[in-house]
A and B are shown apart, each in its own frame.
Chain A
Amino acid sequence: MIDEKREKFIIPIGPQHPALKEPGHFEFTVDGEIVTAASVRLGYAHRGIEKATESRNWTQNMYLLERICGICSHIHALAYCLGVEKLAGVSAPPRAQAIRVIVAELERIHSHLMWLGVAAHEAGFDTLFMYSWRDREALMDVLESLTGNRVNYSANLIGGVKFDISTDQRDTILRALETLEERSKHYLSIVTSDMVFLRRTRGIGTTSAAQAEKIGLVGPTARASGVARDVRVDAPYAAYVDFPVKLVLHTVGDLESRFVVRINELFESYRLIREILDHMPEGEITARIPRRIKEGETISRVEAPRGELFYFIKSNGSDMPERIKVRTPTMCNMASVPVLGIGQQLADIPMILAGIDPCFSCNDRTTVIHQGEDGDVWTWERLRQHGIDFYRGQP
């Protein structure tokens, strides 16, 4: 006879489009409508980019790394360029750093507005989704006229940027910001006052500051729980040294506060871009950089729209890197989904997942598959032998 009390009901979600249009597999054990256990399996979008960087030169790698993420492409290239410049002992001119920050902040605005739409869509609030994306289009036009592309801007060069900002473009940016600021205020009032929407966000997936610290959350997800963590403030890079940003914090830690933090960050970005445009440093926009980078290793940290983005770069003195390691913010934030999901309604899970602003493709660079209870740890020797055997078997 089946013991009904001990039987578990597991709902598998994904890997095809689990709430979002990216691959990831989730298993939720449910008791009625309430989730009692959850697990995440990632790695479906693993592309071997880190390995590919080892067979391309420093310049080519910038474009490869830019394509790790379609939404935050500029920040990847920026983290890489800052790291390589540090290794080479060259720093980009102040005007180039200012332009880099302007593009990074424009990218943050577009990313946050996009998230606002996606998260609203997950909550079933498609009106907000449609209108926020319509307004985001104004920003995409600005990015296109400024950099020459809507998505992979390719604004960076190792040692500077590709283009300058003219007076006309400055006016275009300011005009777009004016409209966006007004709209953002409107959206902030909607997400904090619409009764139906608040039932999906207020008090759902609440993360305390202690919990956020323990899981290791980063970016706006951590700041919504009152954890003061922002690389732009903690370790300013590029033009953030001269143009400091104000930390945006909220203390509640539920989904509503994640909306509030991200929209308030938009206002901070608008302010910062205006300030930089008003006090643009004069001078060159590129510095000369050698084709071969000095031997050494370095780390580079930047604040991507989703949180801390980390690069480790090692050079052996040739024109190609020896090793590049990337850790994206989604990797850190993803751990919160199985933890926060427990005890919630199954219907709230997509919102909790969308609440961290996940980006699966950014995230998938290592796959660890646990076999058995204790997992399976491979020694370096065993991994090396596996590699030799694998390639020996190839035609």
Chain B
Amino acid sequence: MRMGAMFTDVIRALFQRPATRQYPFERTASPDRLRGKLNWDAEKCTGCSLCVKDCPAQALEVFMVDKANKRVVLRYHLDRCTYCAQCVVSCRQSALTMAHDEWELADTDKKLFTITCGDDADVQRLADLAPKGVNEQT
């Protein structure tokens, strides 16, 4: 039995650097495996929609805008994504990857959270195909 068993820890801590970091002024590199923003390679994608089926958060939508030429557009909902990387595992073509350094994704504008990726012409074609106004809502 003794009194003040942690007294030495406290005294020692006075001469140590703080354990906390002054984020955002002081940053450390994110680990390589960190699951950040999803990146999609349009050239590799075959539009099989396996990622859409397995996504637990309904964060992905795949549109086949031209079946004959295999033109695919992916809509990614950043705000729904839980960053579990299941889509990355499910993708047989390795078309999806997660960026380890893009993780500060908060914003005040909700519109920025819906990202439509693909060739500019394909994205335009999707917009033409869909009834007006529907695109923005989904």
B129 within 8 A of A: no
B53 to chain A, nearest CB (A): 7
Residues of A with C-beta under 8 A to B85: 148, 154, 162
Residues of A with C-beta under 8 A to B130: none
B56 near A152 with CB under 8 A, answer no
A163 near B82 with CB under 8 A, answer no
Residues of A with C-beta under 8 A to B3: 194-196
Taking A57-B54, A148-B31, A163-B33 as contacts, is the C-beta distance between A63 and B84 under 8 angstroms? Answer: yes
Residues of A with C-beta under 8 A to B90: 59
B133 to chain A, nearest CB (A): 24
A394 within 8 A of B: no
Taking A60-B54, A127-B10 as contacts, is the C-beta distance between A193 and B2 under 8 angstroms? Answer: yes
Distance between Cα atoms of A228 and B82 in the complex (Å) = 39
Residues of A with C-beta under 8 A to B54: 57, 59-60
Size range of the interface on A?
20 to 34
A357 to chain B, nearest CB (A): 22
Size range of the interface on B?
20 to 34
A190 near B86 with CB under 8 A, answer no
B71-124 residues at the A interface, CB under 8 angstroms: 82-86, 89-90, 98, 100
B34 near A144 with CB under 8 A, answer yes
Closest chain A residue, CB of each to CB of B10:
A127
How many A-B contacts are there with CB distance less than 8 Å? 73
Taking A146-B33, A163-B33 as contacts, is the C-beta distance between A127 and B9 under 8 angstroms? Answer: yes
B5-23 residues at the A interface, CB under 8 angstroms: 5-6, 9-10, 13, 19
Distance between Cα atoms of A57 and B54 in the complex (Å) = 8
B6 near A145 with CB under 8 A, answer no
B18 to chain A, nearest CB (A): 10
B32-80 residues at the A interface, CB under 8 angstroms: 32-35, 53-57
B1 within 8 A of A: yes
Distance between Cα atoms of A217 and B15 in the complex (Å) = 44
Residues of A with C-beta under 8 A to B53: 57
Taking A148-B33, A148-B35, A149-B35 as contacts, is the C-beta distance between A194 and B5 under 8 angstroms? Answer: yes
Residues of A with C-beta under 8 A to B5: 189-190, 193-194, 197
A157 near B34 with CB under 8 A, answer no
A233 within 8 A of B: no
Q: Taking A63-B56, A148-B35, A154-B86 as given, write out 4 further A-B residue pairs in contact, using a Cβ cutoff of 8 Å, ordered by the A residue number.
A: A59-B90, A131-B9, A145-B32, A148-B34
